[in-house]
Amino acid sequence: AQRVTQPEKLLSVFKGAPVELKCNYSYSGSPELFWYVQYSRQRLQLLLRHISRESIKGFTADLNKGETSFHLKKPFAQEEDSAMYYCALSAGGTSYGKLTFGQGTILTVHP
Amino acid sequence: DAGVTQSPTHLIKTRGQQVTLRCSPKSGHDTVSWYQQALGQGPQFIFQYYEEEERQRGNFPDRFSGHQFPNYSSELNVNALLLGDSALYLCASSLVSSETQYFGPGTRLLVL
């Protein structure tokens, strides 16, 4: 079975500082990885997916199959980045469409 | 397009009762997934519907059942409610050909 671990429940940084939200997964196959974000009083929304290899709102994430990680990074954090971030995995194949989420990390960016 | 909509927004039930939650997918989407999110946890997959059939199921008991209608909207039914069923229930829609899911605002269920 697949599992997603986000080791930090809370992460605080100052505006302009780099930020890295950690995500580790366990799955023996080739997963598809996602980062979802939930801003205050808004619904959960897709931030980025590894297969598209794009940068959204300055965030990037690289899939490291050797370390089974998919950490989310941004070189200069902004106050509007404060939100709950979830890493999610789809195993594909017979589990296509089933997302397995981590417990989430609350990011707070201080002015 | 209002995106994914869910009703009701909040619900209070007592143990043993039954509840039905509703979801309308984003325009053009044909697949609906349901998730349970307990307080302080990430969403947990319940099941997914496509072409009015359950396509995938997570590790939830048979008390949790669903339905998808010809217009792609969906219902989640929970029978014999337990205190532990108190959670935020999220609906997500997608195209069957895509892994990208769009979430609704959720229905918060409280079981007393």
B14-68 tens-digit pLDDT? 999 999 999 999 999 999 999 999 998 999 999 999 999 999 899 999 999 999 9
Q: For residue A29, what pLDDT is reported?
A: 81
SS3 call for A89: strand
Say whether pLDDT at B74 is over 80.
yes
d(CA B107, CA B89): 5
Q: Count CA within 13 A, CB hemisphere, residue A108.
A: 6
Say whether pLDDT at B75 is over 90.
yes
Backbone angles phi, psi at A106, to 5 degrees: -90, 115
Residues of chain A contacting residue B56, judged by C-beta atoms under 8 Å apart: 95-98
Q: Where are the beta strands (DSSP E) in chain A?
A: 3-5, 10-14, 19-21, 24-26, 32-38, 45-49, 60-61, 72-74, 83-92, 95-101, 105-110
Residue A51: other Cβ atoms inside 10 A: 13
For an interface test with B, the pick among A98, A100, A106 (most B C-beta atoms closer than 10 Å) comes out as: A98
A97 falls in which pLDDT band (50, 70, 90)? Answer: confident
Contact between chains at B43 and A99 (C-beta distance less than 8 A): yes
Q: For residue A55, what pLDDT is reported?
A: 75
The tokens describing A86, both together, are: 């979830």
> From chain B, which residues contact A within 8 Å (Cβ)?
3-4, 31, 33, 35, 40-45, 48, 55-56, 58, 90, 92, 94, 96, 99-106
Summary mean pLDDT of chain A: 92
Say whether pLDDT at B2 is over 80.
no
A77 against A51, higher pLDDT: A77
Q: Do strands B10-13 and B107-111 pair parallel, antiparallel, or not at all (unpaired)?
A: parallel
Name, in order, each residue with C-beta under 8 angstroms of A53's C-beta and a sequence gap of 6 or more. Answer: none
Give B34 to chain A, closest Cα distance, Å.
10
What would the mean pLDDT of A80-95 be, rounded to a whole number?
A: 89
A5 falls in which pLDDT band (50, 70, 90)? Answer: very high
A62 falls in which pLDDT band (50, 70, 90)? Answer: confident
Say whether pLDDT at A54 is over 80.
no
